[in-house]
Amino acid sequence: MNKVKNKKIKWIKLGHIDYQKAWDRQEKLFKTIVNTKINNRKNNKLIKTHNYILTCSHPHVYTLGRSGDEKNLLIDKNFIERENLDFYKINRGGDITYHGPGQIIIYPIIDLENFFTDIHKYLRLLEEAVILTLEEININAGRVKGLTGVWINHKSDLPKKICALGVKTSRWVTMHGLALNVNTDLKYFENIIPCGIQGKDVTSIENEANEKVNIPDIENKLINNLSKVFEFEILDDEI
């Protein structure tokens, strides 16, 4: 059965939103795409699936991936409640990370069969879009061998992570995604061992540029670079 490839992506801007609400939104879109593929294949139809990118930020929250170690959360439940934080065990890959105000969160809910079927390539293209975005604002970033994400001082012995990645895929449909630290309060990373990696610092665009940065401007640059590396067409959807 031939696949009808759809390289258009609807950009849904969720704004500052509770983590659970955004996760529910992801799950709904993800399951819709997966179910469409299953049903259409059963009926031996030509398949056309939709693609989405959700952008948002969250109130202070820690999330632990399915292969993560809860020991990498360095605070207890009493501290979490007292400081009005949230903690979720979720179904993405990777270990523990922090989300909060001043970050750009990108959740691609896409059918990779519309583009390519290679998870490694998918992760590297997400990283590449971030690297290109940082390059536009004169921040040199790159990859560290054996580690996911985007790093500053990536060629040194003391790299600093500026963007974390963690994804889930099923039937070539993706969810979860990346978190880029823009004007993030980095003290919240002190409560965890970020991504379960000992001895690696975390940084932000503000920290590297020594000034507050316009988040919508960075978000637009990042979406534009995602469209370049994945070769998709963006459809705006203000929600």
Maximum C-alpha span of the chain:
57
In our burial notation (b when 16+ CB lie closer than 10 A, e otherwise), range 4-35 reads eebeebbbbebeebebeebbebbeebbeebbe
Q: How far apart are alpha carbons 7 and 113 in whole angstroms?
A: 10
Burial of 103 (0-12, 13-18, 19+ CB in 10 A): buried
Q: How far apart are alpha carbons 216 and 235 in whole angstroms?
A: 17
> Residues 9, 179, 180, 195: which is the catalytic one?
195
56 is catalytic: no
Q: How far apart are alpha carbons 198 and 213 in whole angstroms?
A: 29
- Positions annotated as catalytic residues are 195
